[in-house]
């Protein structure tokens, strides 16, 4: 069954969506959408670095995304510039740096479109192993840091005053984002990763009465988007990454018509 490229694509997409949904909830709650985008863009530099150092691509991406997260945290502490300005600078300059670097490396054949928008139909058995291993790891760590991360999301001072390690949880969370970016790159590409984190979470909000329910629903919404997007891509012969994002958007818009759980209204 795994011999079928479509089945592999489906399994890979589902694996990413399962981790991206719950993690994306925290990105929405903490208003870090732009942060996720910046780290995803930096991932392109990671690809370049991976090729230059002859490392597996996901290791290069993971390394550069993590380094990007740490640099951001350090720059934020300096308070020399507002965070959104800082993110704007890093986001687009790292993407451009990556594109320029790719252009310089004329000796390697790189499918730029695949890097930017994903190449889910080329997911191999090895990729599946990386995706599912990474995805499970992310979910296990997220479950372990759930309480301190949530407490720090509501109010970092309150968490720290009552002895909850919110700072450590925040750092771990950023590294998890780097990890999801590394495993999701093959599926949707650097430009679209944030949508897989945010749209399912936003879809889940209206039907959730608790943070935990929202995380679960976001994972489901992500899986549905992957399935719908891939079938659509097969049916209409459209690029798979953007098709998944369009499917996620469609689910978001359609569920707007359903009655919400009326939480927070």
Partner 1 sequence: MLPTNQTQPARAAGPLVRASGLGVERGGRFIVRDIDLTVSEGEVVTLLGPNGGGKTTTLRAILQIVKPTLGTVERRPGLRVGYVPQRLAIDWTLPLSVKRLMTLTGSQPRERIEAALAETGVAHLVDRPVQALSGGEFQRVLIARAILNRPQLLVLDEPVQGVDFAGEIALYELIGTIRDKLGCGILLVSHDLHLVMARTDRVICINTHVCCAGAPRDVARDPAYTALFGPRAAEVVAVYRHEHDHVHDEAHGPLHDHGGH
Query: Between residues 105 and 253, which has the closer beta carbon with respect to partner 1?
Result: 253
Residue among 67, 121, 147, 232 that touches partner 1 (CB under 8 A)? 147
73-104 burial string, b = 16+ CB within 10 Å, else e?
Answer: eebeeeeeeeeeebbeebbeebbeebbebbee
Least Cβ distance, residue 63 to partner 1 (angstroms): 31
Count of residues for the chain?
265
Query: Between residues 3 and 80, which has the closer beta carbon with respect to partner 1?
Result: 80
Q: Does the footprint of partner 1 cover residue 74 (CB under 8 A)?
A: no
Contact call for residues 245 and 188 (beta carbons, < 8 A): yes
Using alpha carbons, list the distances in angstroms from residue 195 to 71, 130, 171, 186, 246. Answer: 23, 21, 22, 14, 10
Contact call for residues 110 and 102 (beta carbons, < 8 A): yes
Closest alpha carbon to 133 in 145, 122, 125: 125
Q: Does the footprint of partner 1 cover residue 151 (CB under 8 A)?
A: yes
Q: Does the footprint of partner 1 cover residue 182 (CB under 8 A)?
A: no
Alpha helices in the chain (DSSP H): 5-29, 33-52, 57-78, 83-104, 112-117, 125-144, 146-154, 156-161, 166-188, 193-205, 211-236, 240-256
Query: Between residues 31 and 92, which has the closer beta carbon with respect to partner 1?
Result: 31
**Cα–Cα distance measured from residue 176 to residue 20, given in angstroms and rounded to the nearest whole number:** 10
Query: Between residues 6 and 34, which has the closer beta carbon with respect to partner 1?
Result: 34
Query: Between residues 91 and 153, which has the closer beta carbon with respect to partner 1?
Result: 153
Residue among 1, 4, 54, 79 that touches partner 1 (CB under 8 A)? 79
Q: Does the footprint of partner 1 cover residue 263 (CB under 8 A)?
A: yes
Residue among 160, 232, 234, 249 that touches partner 1 (CB under 8 A)? 160
Residue among 159, 176, 219, 244 that touches partner 1 (CB under 8 A)? 159
Q: Does the footprint of partner 1 cover residue 76 (CB under 8 A)?
A: no
Query: Between residues 88 and 211, which has the closer beta carbon with respect to partner 1?
Result: 211
Contact call for residues 186 and 29 (beta carbons, < 8 A): no
User: How is residue 31 written in tokens?
Assistant: 């208003």
Residue among 77, 107, 210, 236 that touches partner 1 (CB under 8 A)? 210
Contact call for residues 18 and 224 (beta carbons, < 8 A): no
Question: Which parts of 19-48 interact with partner 1 (CB under 8 A)?
Answer: 28-29, 31
Query: Between residues 100 and 154, which has the closer beta carbon with respect to partner 1?
Result: 154
Q: Does the footprint of partner 1 cover residue 171 (CB under 8 A)?
A: no
Count of helix runs (H) and strand runs (E) in the chain: 12, 0
Contact call for residues 223 and 14 (beta carbons, < 8 A): yes
Q: Does the footprint of partner 1 cover residue 164 (CB under 8 A)?
A: yes
The site that binds partner 1 (CB under 8 A) totals a number of residues, namely 30
Footprint of partner 1 on this chain (CB under 8 A)? 28-29, 31, 79, 147, 150-151, 153-155, 157-164, 202, 205, 208-211, 213-214, 261, 263-265
């Amino acid at each position: 069954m795994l011999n079928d490229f479509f089945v592999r694509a489906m399994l890979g997409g589902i694996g990413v969506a399962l981790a991206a949904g719950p993690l994306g909830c925290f990105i929405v709650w903490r208003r870090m959408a732009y942060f996720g985008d910046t780290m995803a863009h930096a991932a392109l530099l990671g690809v370049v670095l991976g090729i230059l150092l002859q490392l597996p691509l996901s290791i290069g991406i993971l390394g550069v995304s993590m380094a990007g997260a740490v640099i951001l945290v350090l720059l934020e502490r300096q308070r020399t510039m507002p965070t959104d300005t800082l993110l704007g600078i890093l986001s687009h300059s790292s993407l451009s740096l990556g594109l320029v670097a790719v252009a310089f490396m004329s000796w390697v054949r790189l499918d730029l479109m695949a890097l930017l928008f994903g190449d889910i139909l080329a997911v191999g058995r090895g990729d599946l192993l990386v995706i599912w291993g990474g995805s499970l790891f992310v979910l296990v760590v997220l479950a372990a840091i759930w309480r301190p991360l949530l407490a720090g999301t509501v109010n970092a001072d309150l968490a720290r005053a009552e002895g909850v390690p919110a700072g450590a949880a925040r750092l771990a969370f950023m590294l998890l984002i780097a990890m999801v970016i590394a495993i999701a790159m093959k599926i949707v590409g650097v430009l679209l990763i944030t949508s897989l984190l945010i749209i399912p979470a936003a879809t889940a909000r209206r039907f959730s009465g608790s943070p935990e329910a929202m995380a679960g629903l976001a994972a489901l919404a992500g899986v549905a988007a992957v399935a719908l997007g891939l079938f659509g891509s097969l049916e209409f012969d459209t690029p798979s990454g953007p098709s998944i994002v369009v499917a996620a958007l469609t689910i978001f818009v359609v569920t707007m018509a359903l009655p919400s759980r009326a939480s927070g209204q």
